Structure 1
Amino acid sequence: MSHPSPEPSPTPPEWPHCGHGTTPEDPVGCRGIHVPGHSACLAHLGDADRDAYLAGLTPGADIDHRGTSFTAPLLDALLGALRDPTTGHPRLGSVRFESATFHGHAVFESATFEGTARFESATFQGRAVFESATFEGLAWFESATFEGDAWFGSATVQGHARFDSATFEGTASFGSATFQGHARFDSAIFERDVWFRSAIFQGHARFGSAIFQRTAVFKSATFRGYAEFESATFQGVAVFELAIFQRTAEFKWAIFQDTTEFESATFERDARFEQAVFEQSVSLGPLVCAGRVKLSGAVFGGPVTLSFAALRLECRRTRWSSTAELRLRYATVDFAHAVFEYPLTIAAEPSPFLLPEGQPVAEQAVADAPDAPDAPDAPDATVRIASLRGVDAAHLVLADVDLSGCLFTGTVHLDQLRLEGLCSFDKVPLNTLRWHPVRFTQRRTLAEEHHWRASRPGAVRGWNVAVFDAGRVGPAQLAPVYRALRKAFEDGKDEPGAADFYYGEMEMRRHDRTGTSPAERGLLNGYWMLSGYGLRASRALGWLAAAMLITIMLLMGFGLSKDSPKQEATGTVPPGGGKVSFEIDKADLQNPTGDRFTGERFEKALNVTLNSVVFRSSGQDLTTVGTYIEMASRVTEPVLLGLAVLAVRNRVKR
């Protein structure tokens, strides 16, 4: 769409200008620079003088036609005078067309600019054709206006190219163009489709604050230097399919108002989308990033599908306003303080991503990264969650991810977290030795517990202190986390899994000196020591066996009488004869003497002990001490047996 020409500026240019056609509304008149040796510009020069000037030009000559108005025939005549007879194409030295106006088609096809080519503030009212042109020096098109189509396909710019603040009102085509120096399009406006398909940017490519009002195609483009799209606005479809970014790619504060495509794009360094805004549905990927994909602070307004094979994904304070699915490979994910109100799934992809044609996405860039955790042909590219702090987990689903290093403290509604597939947690250290053997019962633990235990004085080796950003977290903060995860496992009908987190919760309560009273800590210490909080059957059975053995030894030593007492009858005959009554009683039990540890006494003691375990009386004759021993065993041993049964049940129930 053409825009009306702006009102002429009343300020004369800095160069000696023609001044032809002055009016009261335009006292400056023609702003074309004087042709050397004349007082008029090329457009208003007499025919004879113009012919003489053009005849004096040779291929490779420097020309200066700032502010000049060119018709198509006049430009053709100028370029014809500079045509190289060996190639048949124009060959120019340093050229200056600042503020020039090209009224017809400006055809510089296959032209060679051996020096600096300056087109700042030039206006191309027709088609601007620079296809296959070669700029051996700088190419400056700052503030230029292309009212027609601009064709730079297959052009080569060996120096820096500057299109800052340029306006492309028609289609802009830079397909297969090569920018060997820096290419700057800062604040450029593309009102129609723009094509950079298969373009090569060997230096920095800058599109800061550029506005793409229609489709922007960077398919198969190669960015060998930094690619900067900071604050760029993509009002139409943005296509970066098969693009290669060999250095860091910056999309910070960019706005994507329509569909965004990065299918099969490769980032050999970081891909930075901090504070970017995606207003519509987004399908990023499958793409490969050998560095970090940074989405911190980004806003997703529509449904999102992210498919990344990347070393790290940072989504701190990212806002998701619709459903989202993140399918990842190799990545370590930092999701701290992310905000979402709809279901969001983070899942590990077991196999390489497939293209629509069925071909797997090449992941060689990840394999060549110096800190890649796994080889790309490994059967399982592990996805690790680094942090969920500050997240409302009510709508979060994690599938087949590694949570061994995940920070959970501060997560809201953690009890509603859904874990699908194989989600692994960290383990306690294996058997270790410091001054004495230390054995830890294997269970699932949190990274923060590792950090807390490793930072305690006298901690045994094996606890992992190298936890990213763990902070000062202690038992008081960890107990609620374990409790919430326990409930999440219980709601998922995984009782054995919930048992590990119940154990962790009780451990934190036992070590908590701020929220747990001394009496409660003492009770928990006993509970832990006797049965591992009702979860360690071996510990309870061990204590039961020890208690039974002690009971047997005490009964053999002190509880069983010396001999079985015999019954005696005593009678009283009333005076004068008559009825006789008998009172039968046992003789007093005698404490054992001599050899107390005999087979017979062991059998009796074992009988008493076994009956005590099941809370029954054995019917044996015991001494006073033995009676108290039996009473004690009838209280303690059934409790220990019950704890063992409880521990077994907690491990096998579903």
Structure 2
Amino acid sequence: MGTGPGTGPGTGTAVGPPPCDGTPVGEHGACLAHLTDADRAAYLASLAPGADVDHRGTPFTQELLTALLTALRDPAIRRPRIGTARFDGARFAGGADFGGACFTGDAWFSGARFAGDMSLSGAEFAADAWFQGVRFAGTAGFGAAQFRGSAWFHDTRFGGDGWFGSSRFHGACWFTGARFRGRARFGAARFAGDARFNDTRFQGDAYFTVTRFSGAAGFDGTEFRGSAGFGGAQFSGQTLFHGARFAGNARFDMARFDEAPVLGPLTCADTLVLSGAVFAAPVVVEAAVTKAVCVRTRWSSTATLRLRYAGVDLTDAVLEYPLTVAAAPAPFTAPEGGTVPEAELPDGDPAVRILSLTGADAAHLTLNDVDLTACRFSGTLHLDQLRLEGRCVFGRSPAGRTGILPRRWARRSTLVEEHHWRAGRESGRRPGRPHGWEPPPDGTRPPEPAALAVLYRQLRKSLEDGKNEPDAADFYYGEMEMRRHDPTRASAERRLLTTYWALSGYGLRASRAVCWLLGAISVTVLTLMLWGIPAAVPEPGQAAGPDRESAQPAAEPAAPDGPLAERLTTERWERSVRVAINSVVFRSAEAELTTAGVYIEMASRLTEPLLLGLAVLAVRGRVKR
């Protein structure tokens, strides 16, 4: 038995049209895609520019979409003009080019599917535009589009690039929960209302360069897997980045923040760039970042940077009002509760490191609990007014001994500029030998000792103003060291400083002064034993000085004679020690001495109290409050 038309092979059952969810056109009972050619032509001929269309769930080919838009083309504006447009759930096979269409009513694309590239570049939406849940498999082009009402892109998926460059959003727009697998370009876009990108995920690079946000800009919980560029952007309303995560660079260079009470907390696995940015209102920046670059950043109001893991570069920063850079001791709190994850940041100490203050005005700067080991201070203005609070760590001089003749550097706080200068000096004097000082970066020239002395002097004053006398002593030591090595100073001054350094470490090394004191006392005792103590000890009751009966001066005590070794007796040692101690501490002179002994005691009284005073001064410098 054969099969007839409309029957399945060997079954005899009728074969109907394929199932379709498209909205029927008029009274035809079928969607636009499944109309007969005659009915479709009649429907398209009935359309006029500005007509409402309802093609929900309709499958479109490129040819069918072109035919529809051609029927709606307005010769006056040379582009399609559509009233209320319903394309909810429609499926577009291949490319979908709307040719800069003008939608005078609401435009509904919710749940639509675009299998190829889609272009609404230059389109104008006079009312609300709904794109929530749309799936774009290819590039989605909205360049220079005008959204005069609200724009909804909730949970939209962009499989390719998303182009919104130079677009205008006159009302509020929502990209909450959207996903961009390719690049997202919003360069030069304008958001007149609130712009919400909360919980949006950008798999590729995201560009918001020269974008203007006139309303609130919300990026709470947003994830940037590539680089994020906000260079030159202007944030006129509230700016929210609570819990935002940047896997690459986060660039806000030349951006302007007119109202941002709190920026963050955010995390950035690479570099947070704020170079050239302007903060016009009080702000608190909370960020866990690898590096924060604030070159020429302008702080036009009070600001606080609470950071973790960051190396901060404040070169040429402009501080019109007080700025505080502080290390956050614990992870930041996320908006939804708990802590902001820091898994993408390097393991280790979350300390904040200041890398450079060159060219910045430190009069309004406060540093709290930061690491200044690698900080470059050269060229900093008003460095003596810098406020250091909490535990601020500076670099240290090398530990251990170096050289053929072992030398030990005095352990003290140092500036990285001194490391660079000494590394060059030691490398020139002892090529190829380790010295422990940090060499300067390639192509840079360290400051000369005269400039380093000024840096140490200003930092010493800063610490002294903060009542931190013990730590200020290290910077006094550094200042004196640079003065001693300054070739522009007089040689007599440098020799005097060298003597001061050798005797007591500029009055700061008690052990050195005590060693010299003990050595001087030992020399005094030895010389007194050999030449200063008389050969004969006066008998008990025999007065020293003039003879009272004859009124004649007594004979001078006899100088010791005989071999020198025989003069080194216990009795003479005990008398010599007594004389030496008395001359240092008690200043008494009752012992009978030879003429040589008198001069030895005079020299002892001149030098040893001075060394004792230097030792006391050094101890006082370390315990002074």
Alignment check: 8 A CA contact 2:240 2:260 kept = no
**Which of 112, 125, 139 matches 1:160?**
139
Give the equivalent residue in structure 2 for 1:652: 623
Quote the offset at 1:188 in angstroms. Answer: 0.4
Give the equivalent residue in structure 1 for 2:205: 226
CA distance in 2, matches of 1:653, 1:407: 28
CA distance in 2, matches of 1:365, 1:293: 14
Alignment check: 8 A CA contact 1:185 1:208 kept = yes
Any idea what SS the aligned residue of 1:259 has? strand
Deviates more, 1:113-122 or 1:521-530: 113-122
CA distance in 1, matches of 2:209, 2:281: 21
Give the equivalent residue in structure 1 for 2:569: 598
After superposition, what is the alpha-carbon deviation per residue over 1:558-611, rounded to whole angstroms, capped at 9, x for unaligned?
222222468899xxxxxxxxxxx8343323443321221111111221122112
- Unaligned residue ranges in structure 2 (runs of 5+): 1-27
Quote the offset at 1:498 in angstroms. Answer: 1.0
Quote the offset at 1:633 in angstroms. Answer: 0.9
Give the equivalent residue in structure 1 for 2:350: 381
Give the equivalent residue in structure 1 for 2:114: 135
Give the equivalent residue in structure 2 for 1:543: 516
Task: Give the aligned residue type for 1:647.
Answer: A
With over 3 angstroms needed to count, the CA separation of the structure-2 counterparts of 1:299 and 1:417, relative to structure 1, is same
Any idea what SS the aligned residue of 1:365 has? coil
Quote the offset at 1:109 in angstroms. Answer: 0.9
Give the equivalent residue in structure 2 for 1:393: 362
Give the equivalent residue in structure 2 for 1:448: 417
With over 3 angstroms needed to count, the CA separation of the structure-2 counterparts of 1:598 and 1:193, relative to structure 1, is same
Quote the offset at 1:306 in angstroms. Answer: 0.4
Quote the offset at 1:617 in angstroms. Answer: 3.7
Any idea what SS the aligned residue of 1:614 has? helix
With over 3 angstroms needed to count, the CA separation of the structure-2 counterparts of 1:262 and 1:58, relative to structure 1, is farther
Give the equivalent residue in structure 2 for 1:369: none
Alignment check: 8 A CA contact 1:386 1:468 kept = no
> After superposition, where does 1:77-476 map in structure 2 within 5 Å?
79=55, 89-93=58-62, 95-96=65-66, 97=69, 99-366=78-345, 372=346, 374-375=347-348, 381-456=350-425, 457-458=428-429, 460-465=434-439, 471-476=445-450
Any idea what SS the aligned residue of 2:284 has? strand
Quote the offset at 1:121 in angstroms. Answer: 2.1
**Which of 567, 572, 586 matches 2:554?**
586
CA distance in 2, matches of 1:627, 1:383: 62
CA distance in 2, matches of 1:52, 1:336: 64
Give the equivalent residue in structure 1 for 2:19: none
Give the equivalent residue in structure 1 for 2:15: none
Quote the offset at 1:615 in angstroms. Answer: 6.3
Quote the offset at 1:71 in angstroms. Answer: 1.0
After superposition, what is the alpha-carbon deviation per residue over 1:361-417, rounded to whole angstroms, capped at 9, x for unaligned?
111121xxxxx2x34xxxx51111101111111111111111111111111121221
Alignment check: 8 A CA contact 1:565 1:587 kept = no
| 2:492 maps to 1:513 | no
Quote the offset at 1:476 in angstroms. Answer: 1.2
Task: Give the aligned residue type for 2:383.
Answer: L
Alignment check: 8 A CA contact 1:383 1:401 kept = yes
Any idea what SS the aligned residue of 2:288 has? strand
State the TM-score, normalizing by the size of structure 2: 0.87
Quote the offset at 1:135 in angstroms. Answer: 1.1
Alignment check: 8 A CA contact 2:261 2:282 kept = yes
| 2:532 maps to 1:559 | yes
CA distance in 2, matches of 1:121, 1:52: 23
Give the equivalent residue in structure 2 for 1:522: 495
**Which of 579, 582, 586 matches 1:611?**
582
Any idea what SS the aligned residue of 2:321 has? coil
Alignment check: 8 A CA contact 1:68 1:101 kept = no
With over 3 angstroms needed to count, the CA separation of the structure-2 counterparts of 1:636 and 1:228, relative to structure 1, is same
CA distance in 2, matches of 1:161, 1:357: 32
Alignment check: 8 A CA contact 2:154 2:176 kept = yes
CA distance in 2, matches of 1:64, 1:115: 21
With over 3 angstroms needed to count, the CA separation of the structure-2 counterparts of 1:303 and 1:542, relative to structure 1, is same
CA distance in 2, matches of 1:181, 1:471: 49
Quote the offset at 1:437 in angstroms. Answer: 1.7
After superposition, what is the alpha-carbon deviation per residue over 1:197-240, rounded to whole angstroms, capped at 9, x for unaligned?
11111111001100000100111111111100110111110001
Any idea what SS the aligned residue of 2:493 has? helix
CA distance in 2, matches of 1:238, 1:355: 18
Task: Give the aligned residue type for 1:277.
Answer: R
Alignment check: 8 A CA contact 1:432 1:462 kept = no
CA RMSD, Structure 1 to Structure 2 (Å): 2.7
With over 3 angstroms needed to count, the CA separation of the structure-2 counterparts of 1:281 and 1:101, relative to structure 1, is same
| 2:606 maps to 1:625 | no
Alignment check: 8 A CA contact 1:499 1:535 kept = yes
Quote the offset at 1:265 in angstroms. Answer: 0.4
Task: Give the aligned residue type for 1:631.
Answer: M
| 2:473 maps to 1:494 | no
Deviates more, 1:428-437 or 1:251-260: 428-437
After superposition, what is the alpha-carbon deviation per residue over 1:418-439, rounded to whole angstroms, capped at 9, x for unaligned?
1111111111111123212221
After superposition, what is the alpha-carbon deviation per residue over 1:152-176, rounded to whole angstroms, capped at 9, x for unaligned?
1111111111111111111111111
Quote the offset at 1:57 in angstroms. Answer: 8.4
CA distance in 1, matches of 2:419, 2:363: 26
Task: Give the aligned residue type for 2:510.
Answer: A
Any idea what SS the aligned residue of 1:71 has? coil
With over 3 angstroms needed to count, the CA separation of the structure-2 counterparts of 1:470 and 1:612, relative to structure 1, is farther
State the TM-score, normalizing by the size of structure 1: 0.83
Any idea what SS the aligned residue of 2:596 has? helix
- Unaligned residue ranges in structure 1 (runs of 5+): 1-46, 81-87, 367-371, 570-580
Q: How many residues align?
A: 570
**Which of 503, 506, 511 matches 1:533?**
506
Alignment check: 8 A CA contact 2:556 2:594 kept = no
Deviates more, 1:286-295 or 1:494-503: 494-503
Give aligned-pair identity as a percent: 49
After superposition, what is the alpha-carbon deviation per residue over 1:476-509, rounded to whole angstroms, capped at 9, x for unaligned?
1111111111111111111111111111111111
Any idea what SS the aligned residue of 2:344 has? helix
CA distance in 2, matches of 1:310, 1:504: 33
| 2:51 maps to 1:71 | yes
Task: Give the aligned residue type for 1:198.
Answer: G
Quote the offset at 1:281 in angstroms. Answer: 3.1
